[in-house]
Amino acid sequence: MIFSLPGSLRSLWAPVVVCVGLVFSLVGALTAAPVPGSGIDIAGLAIGAVATVGGLVFAWGGLRMGVVRRGTGLRVREVVGGDTYETEQIQGFGVGEEEHHLVPLTIIYPTIRLVDGGEIQVTSLATFRVVPGARGQALRAAHRMAAWTGKAVGD
């Protein structure tokens, strides 16, 4: 499910990513906690610290993922990282689909078509085809990005 906020598009998968990150952090913190009467467990402390920090990074990425209107372009944010595309780089928008890499389900997502012939899959706004209205959601997201940039939506 894709929803629109002023100046941004977000996915309802973002809260799921945040929750997974927070659970991972909690498990890391519990792993790092010393067991009373057993002394300091260096391996548990190290693994717990890495899991805690990794989980917090994952949660932060979940809070940020989506598409944000940035000046004259769009900022596409994934869980880790993101790129900015200026209006001059964008030719148009569309909808793409492909098989998910882990589960045998098709995912549908908006795409940004670039002037140089490239295509950006906005996977931070992806949803599964089995979700009712998934294609329409991706198409509405493409139309919203098109309205922000003044570019066209193709097939």
Q: Is the separation of the CB atoms in 92 and 146 below 8 Å?
A: yes
User: pLDDT tens digits, residue range 74-131?
Assistant: 999 988 888 999 999 999 999 999 988 888 889 999 999 999 999 999 988 988 888 8
**How far is 21 from 26, CA to CA, in rounded Å?**
9
66-153: which CATH architecture?
Roll (2.30)
With cut-offs at 50, 70 and 90, classify the pLDDT of residue 31.
confident
- Grouping H, G, I as helix, E, B as strand and the rest as coil, residue 122 is coil
Tell me the domain boundaries of the chain.
13-63, 66-153
- Grouping H, G, I as helix, E, B as strand and the rest as coil, residue 92 is strand
- Residue 155 confidence (pLDDT): 61
Name 107's Cβ contacts closer than 8 Å, sequence gap at least 6: 97, 98, 99, 100, 123, 126, 127, 128, 129
Give the chain's mean pLDDT.
89
